[in-house]
Amino acid sequence: MSEETVQAGGAPAKAFTHREIMIILSGLMTGLLLAALDQTIVSTALKTIVIDLHGLKEYTWVVTAYLLTSTASTPLYGKISDLYGRRIVFQFAIVTFLLGSLLAGLSQNMVELIATRALQGLGAGGLMSLTFVIIGDIIPPRDRGRYQGYFGAVWGLSSVAGPLLGGFFSDHHTILGVTGWRWIFYINLPFGILALVITSAVLHIPKVKREHSIDYLGALLLVVGVTSLLLAIAVYGPEDGWTDKRTIIYLVVGLILAVVFVIWEEKAKEPILPMRLFKNHTFTLTSALGAVIGAGLFGAVIMLPLYLQIVKGNSATSAGLKLIPLMMGIVTMSIFSGKQITKHGKYKRFPVIGTGIITIGLLMMTTLVRTTPYWRLSIFAIIVGAGLGLSMQTIVIALQNSVDFRDMGVATSANTFFRSLGSVFGSAIFGAVLNNRLTHYMASGFTNLAQKDPTVMAGVNITPAGLTNMIANPKSVPLIVHNTAMDAYVNAFHIVFFTAAPITAIGFLIALGLRELPLRTSHDYAEAREEAAGEAIG
């Protein structure tokens, strides 16, 4: 059955049963899990990939190419699905992601891998955004909390399984006769095909027929502008310095194109991102909150594995397993807040409490030291995860409850877009802070050590290559030298968490400004859908 076209005055769309929703969710969550996993799964395998493909100079682009295309394409999917229907666009995203995965696994050099990762990201942008758009179509906001925990579980599982699977595959030279790291991409194929089959069979959402024209110039301005900004902030700034000429050029070009995009969208007949949405109080605040939460999520997910691997000496696989408390916090609080929202119809309290808890958890992490026991780190991780679980899906419910049905796709995709931007910017900022402070603490620590005992530093290589060897082989240097290096890492992590806490505290203040609107019920949703159909045809 193809998507039905809603006609003015036609019968209201049939509500989906709980069983039908769960079947649809299984396909959506499979696609979302694949996209979320591929944000983190490659990182732990990069060392092995670089050695195998001889691409040390280009290694950062393996991750960056995916982030660029997935982030830049996200808002486009929402608008296109508003025009052409959810299912066909979602399935296009799945096929694109699968093609990218297959080709990435077959890559013979770094250029091929980077190009195919970009193709993967193009599909992932649709998987991440359209999942929540489709949920907004089939489940009224008042009932959404009942299913909220499932998506919290996806984000939590991806934050743990990504580093875990990446470490597992890269630790094996071959699996079933295929190079181990290539399974990072091949593992996507059966699950992606399953998502394609499920959505083909059960995803029948009434399509609203609209007269439309595509804003090609707006799409071009958005993609090029976002890509330029991301290159400046996520690539060239951290690599070459924030005052480097190339960094400044990309940053200025990105900002100019962003201004031009806003001006053009005010005039466009069918804008990619309607500026009128920013007049919606809830849309504006949830967009800002999404960026803050994205930064907080990646700050924890990236920094905790680094701490466990570098300071505590855990393997990539072990570090992934030790993120389970973070997942537990996300899943548990997603389920709890979802049930409470469905029961009482109130949602504002959860992002307020959630962002406050994230801030407290990040401040607690500033107490980590070289000898901190794992049980204490687990408590901190649970607290941060709990805050994320209370916040992430709740703001999507608030957003979708506040916008017109005709804007469901573009508004939801925009929220995902801002969260992705927050993730990328947060990762770049925290990485830059870590590197800057690490250099400072290493220099001061080794200088003080040399002054106390000049002989202990004799023959110790403190170049980047030497420090890498020191981390990999702690016994290659005197214990006091290794401990000094680890203390420098710990102090640098402290500054990162001190930097992240004010950002999430701003999220707390933003959440306080949210307005508590009555959540729409099934009856309200049916009326909104019919009204949108009437407006489109009339």
Please report, in tens digits, the pLDDT of each residue of the chain (538 residues total).
344 444 333 444 556 677 878 888 888 888 888 887 777 777 767 767 877 777 666 666 777 788 888 888 888 887 788 777 788 888 899 999 999 999 998 988 888 888 999 899 899 888 888 888 888 778 877 777 777 677 777 877 777 777 778 777 877 778 887 887 888 888 888 888 888 888 887 776 665 555 556 777 888 888 888 888 888 887 787 777 778 888 899 999 999 999 999 899 888 777 888 888 888 899 999 999 988 888 876 666 678 878 888 888 887 677 778 888 988 888 889 888 888 888 888 889 999 999 999 999 999 999 999 899 999 999 999 999 899 889 887 888 888 888 887 777 788 888 888 888 888 788 778 877 888 888 888 888 888 888 887 777 777 777 666 676 777 677 777 888 888 888 888 999 999 899 889 989 999 999 999 988 888 765 555 555 555 444 444 4
Can you tell me the distance from the alpha carbon of 212 to that of 179, in angstroms, rounded to the nearest whole number?
A: 48
Six token digits for residue 472: 């990999």
Instruction: Give yes or no: residues 295 and 255 share one domain.
Output: no
User: Would you state the pLDDT for residue 424?
Assistant: 78
Can you tell me the distance from the alpha carbon of 393 to that of 320, in angstroms, rounded to the nearest whole number?
A: 23
Instruction: Give yes or no: residues 104 and 136 share one domain.
Output: yes
Q: Is residue 236 part of a domain?
A: yes
Cβ distance 94 to 31 under 8 Å? yes
Q: Is residue 452 part of a domain?
A: no
Which of 269, 285, 304 finishes a domain? 269
Amino acid at residue number 152? G
Instruction: Give yes or no: residues 497 and 532 share one domain.
Output: yes
User: Would you state the pLDDT for residue 481?
Assistant: 82
Q: Is residue 459 part of a domain?
A: no
First and final C-alpha spacing in the chain: 26
User: Would you state the pLDDT for residue 536?
Assistant: 42
Can you tell me the distance from the alpha carbon of 363 to that of 126, in angstroms, rounded to the nearest whole number?
A: 35
Instruction: Give yes or no: residues 359 and 348 share one domain.
Output: yes
Q: Is 0.85 topped by the overall pTM? A: no
Which of 226, 250, 269 finishes a domain? 269
Q: Is residue 1 part of a domain?
A: no
Can you tell me the distance from the alpha carbon of 467 to that of 115, in angstroms, rounded to the nearest whole number?
A: 32
Instruction: Give yes or no: residues 144 and 51 share one domain.
Output: yes
Question: Helix 59-84 and helix 86-106: axis angle, to 10°?
Answer: 160
Phi/psi at 251 (nearest 5 deg)?
-65, -45
Instruction: Give yes or no: residues 241 and 313 share one domain.
Output: no
Phi/psi at 225 (nearest 5 deg)?
-65, -50
Q: Domain range holding 260?
A: 215-269
Q: Is residue 9 part of a domain?
A: no
User: Would you state the pLDDT for residue 522?
Assistant: 58
Instruction: Give yes or no: residues 203 and 252 share one domain.
Output: no
Q: Is residue 467 part of a domain?
A: no
Tokens 């709890």, residue located: 336
Q: Is residue 81 part of a domain?
A: yes
Can you tell me the distance from the alpha carbon of 252 to that of 245, in angstroms, rounded to the nearest whole number?
A: 11
Instruction: Give yes or no: residues 265 and 322 share one domain.
Output: no
Q: Is residue 471 part of a domain?
A: no
Instruction: Give yes or no: residues 244 and 125 share one domain.
Output: no
Per the structure, the count of domains in the chain is 2
Task: Give pairs for 321-324: CB < 8 Å, separation 24+.
Answer: 321/160, 321/164, 322/374, 322/377, 322/378, 323/159, 323/160, 323/163, 323/381, 324/160
Instruction: Give yes or no: residues 95 and 241 share one domain.
Output: no
Instruction: Give yes or no: residues 130 and 233 share one domain.
Output: no
Can you tell me the distance from the alpha carbon of 188 to that of 227, in angstroms, rounded to the nearest whole number?
A: 26
Instruction: Give yes or no: residues 360 and 251 share one domain.
Output: no
| Domain containing residue 87: CATH number | 1.20.1250.20
Which of 229, 252, 269 finishes a domain? 269
